Structure 1
């Protein structure tokens, strides 16, 4: 339950920002990108995040040197905060420098709508490629619970730094990585390429010569020049790796019609609700049911991508998986009376409505 509330808070903040951008500032909000960002890796990434923590804990318990065991908890926490940020700087910088790591990280940079939801957009495999960079904390003896807490703080700061509402942050511009600094990091145009790799402190970029402030006279261009034209989370995470390996992969044809914005973001909310329920149920559901629920969330995210891409299989998958889950709510004890049944029922009704012609835009030309 403790992780349900933070996850729900992230979703609420994304929704508030989108409301301000769309209603107050009258700016376009590309719902397909917002929903892709929310669904990009949450189910599979959640699984691999658990693996990352498990590996850290194994190294800590077996090989930890206990160098910080006798330190005051506040000092221990402060050192962990600093070391974590230093490790993240090099993690981030090398994910831009090494081909296989960039094939994982590029998913985050392909987003062209700079907003809080972009802070959630990640490859399925980003937690896996992060594992080696933080093991130094385990080796010096930073407890696993401190590692988790410190990481949570840093990741929330990074989430905040993707917001589209804050332009400049006053004196913090000289100390912290701010939304302005991180906008520059996401630039694909000069002088913003390969700069501002820090997560929280701007210290590391200034120390290692990678700092670049955002310039008023040179607007930041977001995204990548070789962006994959798909909103399918499966291909977004796997196609860059297949390309790097030189393996064959599909070519994406333009969609003849696209799902309207309302149906995209409501599908995204339903999919995120599945994730929240998985987090809630993880501690007490039987392993089989947890795994089925995890697969349900992953399939839902992939189906949304298919629908957003205008693919028939996306609509079919979106319809079938919710019907199957409704069946599980009658057959499996763990599912009976659970709120996931209401989510599945709402999603199945949503699926039926997406079969109407009125739910789609025909692409001209």
Structure 2
């Protein structure tokens, strides 16, 4: 299977996440928090993929209709340098205000609710993050930063931010002096009162030092992560919308679960990796799918993230929904539509096997699960 650049990015990201987890487990003897990792991977990337497209389309629209044609008249090297520095400055203030303004915090809080610091946390985001980020980078389009420059520069910065969530690097030597590093970003996620609302920068340390928000990591301070006073959930629907509903003073829809159902975390981990593989498949094949196939696969993957979240929260409805999706998706695309490309057969086949195993666990709960 030939991967387009977007799908390749997802593959590389997943590979780094899994390699880091293996090192943490087998070298550092650290237990893998599979439920947290899978939530991070499947916190809604299929929906974020759509909203990222909206963000790029909006940037292109501003370039066409509100472009002052300042930056695009400069030498090419100057365009790239300006875009790199200006994007990072825009990110700093976007990030800082997402911690300051209640509505924006209601969106951003999802990222901070993760209680384990590893690479998967770097891709844990709200469904709406691209939408609330856009107003802060729109100025780049107005100033005339070309679209291709914007896309490459933002990708570089996001890659640095992804790296800065890794759990393997302690100190980074001279880089700690002028760049945001894992050490600095651990502080940003820390719950110690000396770390709250510190280190908002994305790539360059300049902005935190310039605007008085820098805090180095302190010796002897135990690092704890998460958000105090919140109820942990692995359901992306609740995570991305619960705080927003509270801010709007609206009542979030709630229903009583008819019992709980526990499965091993490794089962959830395998399901999450397979589902993320389907996201990659969707991103790579989107242009080749007819409209109804795009919609059907999108809906199945999206509802799969909700079902897997329910299963992670030990909800019986999540187990039933997950098994249903695991069985329905391969039947639809393998047998009815006759998807025959190798990776499609692999991903849909693995999903089918995972669903059959889940059905076995549901029908024999005394052996594999526990209901109450």
TM class, shorter-length: over 0.9
Q: In the aligned structure 2, how far is the partner of 1:229 from the partner of 1:69?
A: 46
**Quick one: which of 173, 177, 182 aligns to 2:176?**
173
Deviations 1:15-71 (A, max 9, x none): 111011111100122110011100012111111000000001100111111102222
Partner of 1:273: 277
TM-score by length of 1: 0.94
Partner of 2:330: 326
Contact kept, 8 Å, 2:257 with 2:316, in 1: the verdict is no
Give the direction of change, closer, same or farther, for the CA distance of 1:252–1:163 in structure 2 (3 Å limit): farther
Contact kept, 8 Å, 2:235 with 2:306, in 1: the verdict is yes
Deviations 1:246-271 (A, max 9, x none): 11123888985532121011001111
Residue range with higher mean Cα deviation, 163-172 or 249-258? 249-258
Q: In the aligned structure 1, how far is the partner of 2:61 from the partner of 2:345?
A: 37
Partner of 1:132: 135
Q: In the aligned structure 2, how far is the partner of 1:258 from the partner of 1:74?
A: 56
Q: In the aligned structure 1, how far is the partner of 2:165 from the partner of 2:370?
A: 30
1:79-158 matches, within 5 Å, as 79-158=82-161
Contact kept, 8 Å, 1:271 with 1:297, in 2: the verdict is yes
Q: In the aligned structure 1, how far is the partner of 2:54 from the partner of 2:368?
A: 40
Unmatched tracts of structure 2, length 5 or more: none
Give the direction of change, closer, same or farther, for the CA distance of 1:51–1:205 in structure 2 (3 Å limit): same
Question: Cα RMSD between the aligned structures?
Answer: 1.9
Partner of 1:264: 268
Give the direction of change, closer, same or farther, for the CA distance of 1:253–1:201 in structure 2 (3 Å limit): farther
Contact kept, 8 Å, 1:103 with 1:241, in 2: the verdict is yes
Q: In the aligned structure 2, how far is the partner of 1:220 from the partner of 1:281?
A: 42
Unmatched tracts of structure 1, length 5 or more: none
Instruction: Report the alpha carbon displacement of residue 187 of structure 1 after superposing the two structures with TM.
Output: 1.2
Deviations 1:205-257 (A, max 9, x none): 10000000110121222100123322111111111111111111238889855
Q: In the aligned structure 1, how far is the partner of 2:198 from the partner of 2:223?
A: 12
Contact kept, 8 Å, 2:260 with 2:316, in 1: the verdict is no
Q: In the aligned structure 2, how far is the partner of 1:259 from the partner of 1:78?
A: 51
Give the direction of change, closer, same or farther, for the CA distance of 1:175–1:359 in structure 2 (3 Å limit): farther
Give the direction of change, closer, same or farther, for the CA distance of 1:251–1:320 in structure 2 (3 Å limit): closer
Report how many residues are paired: 362
Q: In the aligned structure 1, how far is the partner of 2:218 from the partner of 2:44?
A: 32
Residue range with higher mean Cα deviation, 254-263 or 227-236? 254-263
1:218-257 matches, within 5 Å, as 218-249=221-252, 250=254, 256-257=260-261
Deviations 1:282-327 (A, max 9, x none): 2222222112211121111111111111112212211222332233
**Quick one: which of 48, 67, 85 aligns to 1:45?**
48
Contact kept, 8 Å, 2:67 with 2:144, in 1: the verdict is yes
SS of the residue aligned with 2:262? Answer: strand
Q: In the aligned structure 1, how far is the partner of 2:201 from the partner of 2:48?
A: 22
Residue range with higher mean Cα deviation, 196-205 or 288-297? 288-297
Instruction: Report the alpha carbon displacement of residue 336 of structure 1 after superposing the two structures with TM.
Output: 5.3
Deviations 1:129-178 (A, max 9, x none): 01100001000100111111111000000000000010111111110000
Q: In the aligned structure 2, how far is the partner of 1:167 from the partner of 1:337?
A: 43
